[in-house]
Structure 1
Amino acid sequence: KSEILKTSKDYIKEKEEKYLSGGFSFMYEPDADEVLDKILPRMIEVQLFQALLESNASEHSARMAAMNKATSAASDLVDELTLYYNKARQAAITAEIAEISAGVAGMKA
């Protein structure tokens, strides 16, 4: 028997026998078959809906993880490019200072 659908007629009869032996009695209004006919389709519908919700949550989780990884990679790239830009700017400033110093030295000579 399925763990999910433990609502078969045999299962109900088994439970009835267990509780009837203990002094309990069950009265189904309408009868047990009609109750099962109404409940089982709804139960299956709810289980399918739960599976869809879990699938949707899993998809959102995977997207969130991918976006976090992309954000981290973009941040690393920005840091790397900022460092490259700062080094290039510093090299240009150093070259300009060297030209100015050479010009001043040439004027003094």
Structure 2
Amino acid sequence: MEPLLSLKSVSKSYDDLNILDDIDIDIESGYFYTLLGPSGCGKTTILKLIAGFEYPDSGEVIYQNKPIGNLPPNKRKVNTVFQDYALFPHLNVYDNIAFGLKLKNYQKPKLIKK
């Protein structure tokens, strides 16, 4: 079975600090996965790369066998809630709240109700 999501040879640094170094991850559909490790080990960085809030220095993020590195965050089929409450700065409050529901094809009357 092909993975639903993959990180291939992904590296990411901030200034001179190497956070991720040549990481390979395959995520298959139908399973639960956990990123576990101490503070500062790269868990949030991996999630930000998948969501498109950060871009890898090298390597690629692949969703359904297609690289998504050039896809903006609001076009990715990813919902993530970070501890720092990241919002899409180009969206208003309603659109930020409705974003995940729109990905699930909720229509406007149901969005307003939710």
Query: When the two structures are superposed, what TM-score results if normalisation uses the length of structure 1?
Result: 0.19
Q: Please identify which structure carries the higher strand content.
A: 2
Q: Please identify which structure carries the higher helix content.
A: 1
Query: When the two structures are superposed, what TM-score results if normalisation uses the length of structure 2?
Result: 0.18
Q: Larger relative CO (CA 8 A, sep 6+): 1 or 2?
A: 2
Instruction: Give the structure with higher Rg (CA).
Output: 1
